[in-house]
Structure 1
Amino acid sequence: MMSLRTLARAAPRAISRASSVQTVSRAASSNLLKSTRTTAFLRPQQASAFSTTVFRRAAAESETDEELSSKLASEIEFEEDVKDNEPQPASIKDFLDNGPFEIKDIPGKEEVVLTRNFGNEKITVTFSIADLQTFDQEGMYDDDAALSDEDVRSPEQQSSRDSAAEAEEDDLNDAAEEASVPCRLNIVVEKANNGALAIEAIAQDGAIVVENLFYYKDAKLAHAASAEASHDAQDVYPGPPFGSLDEDLQILMERYLEERGITQALAVFVPDYMDMKEQKEYLAWLNNVKGFIDA
């Protein structure tokens, strides 16, 4: 599910953007008229022997730093409150305590890696919080595209637009319940000296949907950790789309993955963990930026 926190961040910005465009348009017209009236009365002045421009600029920069630091502190306080009021989902604790996977989550990195051994196989599942950012921005780009073509409207048109913005804000809570983030999973099942299977799947709505299945004789190509490996992997025959395979073959392949821990529990865990990690990384980012500004 798309978190209420994410929607809360985006909503004020989207709504304010809608109203600010009109303000900017009106202000630009007004400033143009003022400039036209006053230009004729301007007279060149002799340059002063001593200028305070540098000092005024330094003072302005100092004021901006203080204002920015204060705003960052406000955002940090908001995120801390959200963290304190949103307990960790039970799915995360249950999966980490009772599941077969070990987790590798490096602070400051987008990717999260799950690993386990199954017989003579090594299984790796990788997902990234970048999917959350992509999911959020898709809707925002649509709003920006609409605003970019906007021109001066009549009061009646503006009133209608404001009403629509208010209705959109009222629908945010419903959207939070309905929106489900599709989380991409890169699954690798490898055997020593026997290559690897690479599976591209989506975790969404408590289910895992397999999209593509690849086989690589060289297991390194399945991970594609380097540019060279990624290039070589592109030359390998990918096989047909998973959905076009014989239905019984699809069912057996899904059962094969379930036996290795690619289950409904994983499908529930991944979105919840992504949301928790994104909040943690965002809070750390805010603190880092504030620390830099204040230094």
Structure 2
Amino acid sequence: MLSLRTFARSVPRTLSRSIATTSRSSFLSVPKNGFLQASLKQATRPSYAAFSTSSVFRQSPAEGDIELVAKLEDELKHEKASGLEDLETSVQNIQYVLQNNSWEVKDVPGEQEVVLTKKFGKEEIRLTFTVADLQNLSEQEDFDDSAFADEMDFQGHQPANQGRGAPGAVAQHPEDRIAPADREMDDLDRDMEPSFPARVNITIEKPGNGSLLIQTVAQDGLFQIEEVSYFSKPDLAHAQTAEQDWARQSLYAGPPFENLDEDLQTFLERYLEERGINAELANMIPDYIQVKEQKEYVRWLENVKNFVAA
């Protein structure tokens, strides 16, 4: 693929060089006549002047700027009018959980990461999650939809009542054979879609005793533990720099959680619940991500509009 692009790009340059060489040789063969040289100079001057004074490319960006700003303003009005209203239930859930628990929130406008912290005895507990999970989910859904469509095309999916059977036979899709009552229940199940998975990193630090890093996924009211790691140096659990991340990767991180003894898994899950890392919080975090993503999108629209209009 790269060689084709290289060849395609080299053809115009080679062709132009050959044309230029032919042109130069033909001009060199013409006798040096003063009148002819003056005519050639006069003939070539207007082409340079017309190219350099053209105003088309200077005017079109300004017209495009006006249309872009108008579109951004329309999008802003729409998002401000209905954006958070559609997430009213999520906002109420967030407020309830934060008001009835001791979590402190670090949410910096313009940043993707959100941090929840609290004290539990002498322990410092820290949860981090990011808006990027919602964006990554949208990309995955687009990929899944495309893959499903390709699969249906490959299987020769036909419109209803267009079969290849015997004359007079009527082809049916599987959904055509579902009773109306069952179809209503199926539609209801589709409406009750599960929440999206949100990755949550939990660090629990004890002074002078290092820290635990518990990597989880919050979804449908559950914290699904994936891995539990111990670090003697607490800063490695956070890994804010590339050096710290590199040092952490060189250490033994522990086995996958699902490979642990079932009783040990149960006790670790209870360990988190006793520290307020429970179903209530697992339901709130995906809501928080959706609300923050909406706010960040509105802020992004405002910043882009102000930049283009400046």
Fold match (TM-score > 0.5): yes
Normalised TM-score (structure 1): 0.72
Matched, 1:279 2:294: yes
Is the CA contact 2:194–2:220 (under 8 Å) kept in the aligned structure 1?
Answer: no
Taking a change above 3 Å as real, the CA distance of residues 82 and 53 of structure 1, as seen in their structure-2 partners, is farther
SS in 1 for 2:55: helix
Could you tell me how far apart the structure 2 residues matched to 1:221 and 1:97 are? 31
Q: What does residue 224 of structure 1 align with?
A: 239
Deviation at 1:180, TM superposition (A): 2.4
Deviation at 1:84, TM superposition (A): 5.2
Matched, 1:92 2:94: yes
Deviation at 1:238, TM superposition (A): 1.3
Instruction: Encode CA deviations 1:110-145: one digit per residue, 9 max, x unaligned.
Output: 000000111110000000000000000112245678
Q: Give the stretch that moved more between structures: 232-241 or 51-60.
A: 51-60
Taking a change above 3 Å as real, the CA distance of residues 57 and 208 of structure 1, as seen in their structure-2 partners, is same
Instruction: Encode CA deviations 1:3-40: one digit per residue, 9 max, x unaligned.
Output: xxxxxxxxxxxxxxxxxxxxxxxxxxxxxxxxxxxxxx
Over the matched positions of the two proteins, sequence identity in percent amounts to 43
Number of residue pairs aligned between Structure 1 and Structure 2: 232
Residues 116-135 of structure 1 aligned to structure 2 (within 5 Å): 116-135=118-137
AA matched with 1:283: V
Q: Which has the higher contact order (CA 8 A, sep 6+)?
A: 1
Could you tell me how far apart the structure 1 residues matched to 2:236 and 2:82 are? 41
Taking a change above 3 Å as real, the CA distance of residues 63 and 176 of structure 1, as seen in their structure-2 partners, is farther
Residues 95-244 of structure 1 aligned to structure 2 (within 5 Å): 95-142=97-144, 177-244=192-259
AA matched with 1:106: V
Is the CA contact 1:257–1:263 (under 8 Å) kept in the aligned structure 2?
Answer: yes
Segments of 5+ residues of structure 1 without an aligned counterpart are: 1-44, 149-155, 158-171
SS in 2 for 1:181: coil
Is the CA contact 1:127–1:186 (under 8 Å) kept in the aligned structure 2?
Answer: yes
Taking a change above 3 Å as real, the CA distance of residues 127 and 211 of structure 1, as seen in their structure-2 partners, is same
SS in 2 for 1:178: coil
Instruction: Encode CA deviations 1:187-244: one digit per residue, 9 max, x unaligned.
Output: 0001111000000001001111111000011111111111111111111111111111
Is the CA contact 2:199–2:216 (under 8 Å) kept in the aligned structure 1?
Answer: yes
Could you tell me how far apart the structure 2 residues matched to 1:245 and 1:221 are? 24
- Point out the structure with max Rg over C-alpha: 2
CA RMSD in angstroms comes to 2.9
Correspondence for 1:256 among 244, 268, 271: 271
Could you tell me how far apart the structure 2 residues matched to 1:140 and 1:173 are? 23
Could you tell me how far apart the structure 2 residues matched to 1:53 and 1:286 are? 36
Q: What does residue 26 of structure 2 align with?
A: none
Could you tell me how far apart the structure 2 residues matched to 1:250 and 1:49 are? 79
Taking a change above 3 Å as real, the CA distance of residues 127 and 143 of structure 1, as seen in their structure-2 partners, is same
Deviation at 1:146, TM superposition (A): 9.3
Is the CA contact 1:117–1:123 (under 8 Å) kept in the aligned structure 2?
Answer: yes
